[in-house]
Structures are given as structure tokens and as C-alpha cells.
Amino acid sequence: MSSRAIDLAQNEYDYLQSRKGAGFFLALSQYSTALHDNRRIRKIFGELQKDVDEASQRTKNEQIALIEEAKAIRVDLAHRAPEVDNSDMERPANPLSQTWTEYDRDSFARFDELAAAPVEIRYSPLPSASEPDATMSLLLGILRGRLTAAEYGENPNGPRIRDDLGDLGQRIGNLARRYEHSVRGYKQDDQALPGLALARLVTFGSDLNPEPAMIESDADLGRLLDELIREWGDPRTVVRKLVNGEQLDERTRRSVDATERALKGEAEKLHQELFRRLARVPFWRSPVKLGAGVSAVATAVVAGLILCYAFGIG
């Protein structure tokens, strides 16, 4: 058992949990850096990153397999009911139009576009109930809509005009259940992986005073506006306001308080996992070697690999 590492982890954890408000967020970087400076804990951080990589890859492989099955059902449905094959529908220019809704939710043209896109598995900056990737939900909705059109014609509430496509409906139902199973696994990883807890603590403790955006052209202004839109609603945005002494209204204050509680829960998750792993075989007897790539980088970089891969941050 690594007594020095355990004492360090306990002291840093106790200090972090004692901080409140802006002090808590400002202490996050110090917390992760102090832990990373210990060689044994640095090795564990590398192990936690590997756990996240494996979980993300597993979910990605599941999503790819589900999309392939959805594509096979789409081909069979278009072959057996060519009258509902609207894959030649043009993409509307106005995303606010009714035509766009039809295109987006009920066309094989949109299906083909979504199915061809690369699968990316991302986790949110805070534990959430989100899905790993929205593609499969949309594909299932389009398949159901096109099957309904084939079975009932233009009036989905009217009499059934075809009763020979039930096997496709069964395949869609089975696909939906497989997707639900994959989503449950993803959500459990999102809640349970200590590697994600580490990444979340690092990302909220870094970039609290970002570099100002320099505007020298209309293109720069456009990029700034896009960035501001993306940051709206991001919990890290209100954290920056808090630590920089800006006035917060009551709603924003409640939001940042909830973020602090969530991150303290993540810190507890990481702390417990550190204790479990530190209590294993002594470091000098462990057959696992510390890779040079992990030992040579700062905590922010180690967790940054998780953030870039899992959160899509950076």
C-alpha cells in the first residue's frame, strides 16, 4: 500500500471538498496537479484513461452495428414498398420550414445522409441522461414513418392497405430494443467511470480565464458569434462568471450551485477509486509499467485526452 500517495490523496480531497463557490472551482486545477505529481497516482490516471477509451470504443462499435442493421432494413423496405422510397427528396434550404421537418423526420434522403456520417461517442461535461449519439433515434423514427406510410398510405389513422410487412416492423422493434440496451450501458458508464470524473474536474478547473477573441474581419466576428451561441447554456460559462466576480441572478446561482454539487460528487467518485487502486499490490511490485507518454505530461494533458475523445472538447 502506498501510504504517501494515500495521505496525499486524502489531504487534497479534504481540502477540495471544504471549498465553496468560486474557491471550489479555483481549487480544481491545484487538486488535479497535486495528484498528478505523485508517480503512483499518475499511473492510475493513465489506467482510468484506458477505461474510458475502452468504454467509448465498445459503445461506438455497438452503434455502428445498429446503424448497419438499420440500413439493411431500409433497403428491404424500399425494395418491397418502392412507393414510399423518397430518397430523391432534395434537402430544403430553410431549416424552419415544414418541408424541412418532413425531410428531417420522414425521408430516406435524410436517412442516407445520417447513416453515412461518422459515429462519434461523446460524454457531457457533467453526468447526464443524454444518448451516446442521436443518429439511431432519428433512423428508427424514419424507418417507422416509412413503414407506416407503406402499410396505411397517406392516412396513418385509416385502414391498413398492406399486411405483408409485419416482419419489417418486427425487425425495427428488435433494433429499437438493442439500441435501448446500448444506451443504458452508455448511461451507466457516464455515471460510473472514474476516468470521466477526472476529466470533468480538470475541464471545469481549466480555462477559467480564456484568451480574448481578436476581431479583425467579418469572418472573425462570425466565428465569435458561433462560439457565443455554443457557449450559451454551457455550465462552464457560468462558472467563469462566478470566479471572475460577475453578478449572478438567482437562476444562474442555482445552476452554478448544482454544478458544484455534481463535481463534488465526481471528486468523491474519483477519490474512492484512487483508494481502491492504491490499496492494491505495492507499486514497486506491480508488473504494469508506467508508460513514458503518461509520465511526461501534466494532468491536464492526460485528462485532456479523455476530454477530446469522450467529450469532444479541445
Cα–Cα distance list, 307 to 29, 39, 202 (Å): 15, 22, 9
Question: 26-65, pLDDT tens digit by residue?
Answer: 999 999 999 999 999 999 999 999 999 999 999 999 999 9
Please give the average per-residue pLDDT across 203-217, as a whole number. 77
Average pLDDT value for the chain: 85
Domain of 154, in residue numbers: 1-314
- The CA distance from 279 to 9, in Å, is 12
Residues in the chain: 314
Q: How far, CA to CA in Å, does 201 sit from each of 16, 21, 45, 278, 310?
A: 11, 15, 13, 20, 14
Q: Is the pLDDT of residue 289 over 50?
A: no
pLDDT of residue 229: 47
Give me the pLDDT at residue 309, please: 44
Distance of alpha carbon 116 from the chain centroid: 20
pLDDT band at residue 293 using 50, 70 and 90 as cut-offs: very low
What's the domain count of the chain? 1
Number of neighbouring beta carbons within 10 Å of residue 138 = 18
Residue 156 identity: P
CA distance 252 to 149: 46
Mean pLDDT of 176-193: 95
**Percentage of residues in the chain having pLDDT higher than 90:** 67
Mean pLDDT value of segment 291-297: 38
Instruction: Classify 233 in phi/psi space as left (phi over 0), alpha (psi -120 to 50) or beta.
Output: left
| pLDDT at position 139 over 90 | yes
What distance in Å separates the CA atoms of residue 53 and residue 57, rounded to the nearest whole number?
Answer: 6
User: What phi and psi, each to the nearest 5 degrees, are found at residue 123?
Assistant: -115, 150
The H or E element that residue 4 is part of is helix 3-18
The pTM assigned to this predicted structure is 0.81
Mean pLDDT for the stretch of residues 174-178? 98
